[in-house]
């Protein structure tokens, strides 16, 4: 009973999944709502920083460099920058970006700044009378020895014999260490030295960002706290006349709207619904998950020994375990057709049991509803119909990444005089091309209730391959004639799952990420709109 209800976990789908932008999760952390107690301190630092900037500009033309300014005032640069940004926003000041490439020590650079460069360490380890290579290497360790040798030879500090190492000069300076220390203190070096350190990967660039600041059009030595609300109190007191109101910031991001969100399955379901409605189909009432075996199986000419009717495949109900009412005359005709046939059929030739038909179950397909609808149709003077449904069905299957014990089935049927297999193929082409699949292939299949039956394969342009998309067929006369439909009426029908196209469209490769208690709420809140067939 797997067929099209399964989905394929393919590499392509994983790629699709990772390309999908799922949007931001808006999660509020308690700290956002309840600022920590140190906020009073933070706000006074902010106040100080603001006073410093505005106060300085009162007497001076410009703050040339926010970095130097921060050092002078003994306030952190970060704080100064925050204040500048806020004052700039209110046009109290005009701020210009300054970007500087600064150098910082790499991990290796830091150890040399602390312990001396390898070449210096090596030189110092060579006594005036010389030392054997082996011993020197032991003293320094492999890496310092190796780097130290290279550099010390280049500097002509030492003589490397085959076995022996000796000094070539009496005294050396560790200029590399000195340069590293300078960089660490923010002092400037000439380009040649910078290049040398860069080549040895002892320093790496760091972009420093700051501002130069001048008075802005709204400059004032003090910023008044702007009112954000016109209140009853300030109206009564007349204070509103003096208040300065904060301007609307139309560029500010809005508060994330929270409300209902449509699950991807619902979005795809809606699109499917629209396709059926455009094709002139009416919706069948599928609001009963519990069904009798009679409508789910017997009416569909599915023999009582059929393996799908086993509890391994179907969920049977304990309470109420049986149905109360079935249309008796029709039941009799169904029994007949199963046992001994009729209308040119031989039937199955077995002893049909009413108890088996009475058993309640969770419907295994929405075709149970189709059988009820066709029976109801047969009771009235014949009228051609196009019916569809999209609803949940249940199968007792092992759960894995592509199967759950329930899924949504999409079903369509057309009931009219003289419909042929060509009509079915034509309608399927119409239906699936509206889903964006215009290439279809059919494979003969078997259903107890359809003859002929066809599996439907569609070429998926995105995945660049043929995928099984549904099951279809023409309902058997053994199903339709006992209902009382006219002899020349045929019914063409097809079914597919809602989960499979949804998983492809949304790039989800594990059904448990789509449905059930493990689903990420973020996905449900921020999944994109569904645009089928585009």
Task: Give the residues lining the site for ligand PHE (CB under 6 A).
Answer: 3, 365, 367, 411, 447, 450, 471-473, 493-495
- Shortest gap between Cβ of 497 and ligand PHE (angstroms)? 9
The smaller minimum CB distance to ligand PHE, of residues 291 and 411, is found at 411
The smaller minimum CB distance to ligand PHE, of residues 264 and 473, is found at 473
- Alpha carbon separation from 20 to 15, 16, 519 (Å, rounded): 9, 6, 16
CA–CA distance, 485 with 462 (Å, rounded to integer): 43
Sign of CA dihedral 415, 268, 394, 6: positive
The smaller minimum CB distance to ligand PHE, of residues 80 and 440, is found at 440
- Shortest gap between Cβ of 334 and ligand PHE (angstroms)? 18
The smaller minimum CB distance to ligand PHE, of residues 79 and 406, is found at 406
Helices within 367-436 (DSSP H only): 367-378, 421-434
Question: Do the bridges between strand 385-394 and strand 282-283 make them parallel or antiparallel, or are there none, so unpaired?
Answer: parallel
The smaller minimum CB distance to ligand PHE, of residues 112 and 494, is found at 494
- Shortest gap between Cβ of 517 and ligand PHE (angstroms)? 26
- Shortest gap between Cβ of 335 and ligand PHE (angstroms)? 22
Beta-bridge partners for 18: none
Please say whether the beta carbons of 466 and 460 come within 8 A. Answer: yes
- Shortest gap between Cβ of 284 and ligand PHE (angstroms)? 12
The smaller minimum CB distance to ligand PHE, of residues 367 and 527, is found at 367
Our measurement of the distance from residue 178's CA atom to the centroid of its chain's CA atoms, rounded to an integer in Å, reads: 52
The smaller minimum CB distance to ligand PHE, of residues 121 and 367, is found at 367
- Shortest gap between Cβ of 445 and ligand PHE (angstroms)? 9
CA–CA distance, 342 with 331 (Å, rounded to integer): 15
- Shortest gap between Cβ of 455 and ligand PHE (angstroms)? 9
3-state secondary structure 446-507: EECCEEEEEEEEEEECCCCEEEEEEEEEEECHHHHHHHCCCCCEEEEEEEEECHHHHHHHHC
CA–CA distance, 232 with 208 (Å, rounded to integer): 48
**Burial letters 34-70, b for 16+ CB under 10 A, else e:** eeeeeeeeeeeebeebbebbbeebeeeeebebbbebb
The smaller minimum CB distance to ligand PHE, of residues 3 and 341, is found at 3
- Shortest gap between Cβ of 431 and ligand PHE (angstroms)? 13
CA–CA distance, 381 with 417 (Å, rounded to integer): 13
Which among 515, 289, 283 is positioned nearest to 394, based on CA atoms?
A: 289
């Amino acid at each position: 009973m797997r067929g099209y209800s399964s989905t394929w976990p393919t590499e392509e789908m994983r790629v699709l999944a990772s390309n999908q932008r799922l949007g931001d999760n808006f999660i509020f952390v308690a700290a956002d709502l309840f600022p920590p107690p140190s906020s009073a301190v933070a706000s006074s630092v902010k106040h100080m920083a603001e006073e410093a900037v505005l106060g300085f500009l009162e007497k001076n033309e410009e703050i040339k460099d926010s970095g130097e300014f921060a050092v002078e005032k003994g306030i952190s640069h970060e704080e100064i920058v925050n204040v500048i940004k806020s004052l700039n926003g209110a046009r109290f000041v005009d701020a210009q970006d300054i970007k500087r490439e600064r150098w910082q020590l790499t991990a290796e650079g830091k150890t040399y700044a602390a312990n001396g460069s390898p070449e210096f360490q090596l030189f110092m380890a060579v006594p005036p009378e010389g030392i054997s290579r082996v011993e020197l290497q032991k003293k320094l360790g492999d890496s310092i020895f190796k780097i130290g040798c290279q550099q010390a030879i280049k500097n002509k500090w030492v003589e490397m014999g085959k076995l022996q190492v000796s000094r070539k000069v009496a005294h050396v300076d560790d200029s590399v260490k000195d340069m590293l220390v300078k960089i660490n203190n923010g002092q400037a070096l000439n380009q040649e030295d910078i290049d040398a350190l860069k080549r040895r990967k002892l320093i790496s660039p760091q972009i420093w960002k700051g501002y130069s600041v001048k008075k802005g059009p709204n400059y004032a030595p003090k910023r008044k706290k702007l009112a954000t609300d016109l209140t009853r109190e300030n109206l009564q007191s007349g204070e509103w006349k003096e208040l300065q109101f904060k301007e609307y910031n139309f560029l500010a991001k809005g508060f994330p709207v929270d409300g209902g969100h449509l699950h991807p399955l619902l979005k795809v379901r809606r699109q499917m619904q629209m396709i059926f409605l455009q094709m002139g189909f009416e919706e069948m009432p599928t609001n009963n998950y519990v069904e009798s075996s009679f409508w789910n199986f017997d009416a569909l000419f599915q023999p009582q020994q059929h393996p799908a009717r086993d509890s391994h495949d179907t969920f049977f109900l304990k309470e109420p375990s049986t149905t109360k009412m079935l249309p008796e005359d029709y039941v009799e005709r169904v029994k007949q057709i199963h046992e001994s046939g009729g209308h040119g059929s031989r039937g199955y030739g077995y002893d049909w049991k009413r108890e088996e038909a009475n058993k309640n179950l969770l419907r295994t397909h929405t075709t149970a509803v189709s059988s009820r609808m066709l029976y109801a149709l047969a009771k009235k003077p014949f009228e051609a119909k196009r019916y569809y449904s999209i609803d949940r069905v249940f199968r007792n299957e092992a759960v894995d990444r592509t199967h759950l014990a329930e899924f949504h089935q999409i079903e369509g049927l057309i009931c009219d005089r003289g419909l042929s297999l060509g009509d079915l193929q034509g309608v399927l082409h119409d239906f699936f091309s509206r889903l964006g699949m215009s290439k279809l292939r059919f494979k003969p299949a078997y259903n107890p209730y359809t003859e002929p039956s066809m599996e439907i394969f569609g070429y998926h342009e995105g995945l660049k391959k043929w995928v099984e998309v549904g099951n279809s067929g023409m309902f058997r006369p053994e199903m339709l004639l006992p209902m009382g439909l006219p002899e020349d009426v045929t019914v063409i029908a097809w079914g597919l799952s809602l989960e499979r196209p949804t998983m492809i469209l949304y790039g989800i490769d594990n059904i448990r990420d789509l449905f059930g208690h493990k689903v990420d709420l973020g996905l449900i809140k921020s999944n994109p709109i569904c645009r089928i067939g585009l």
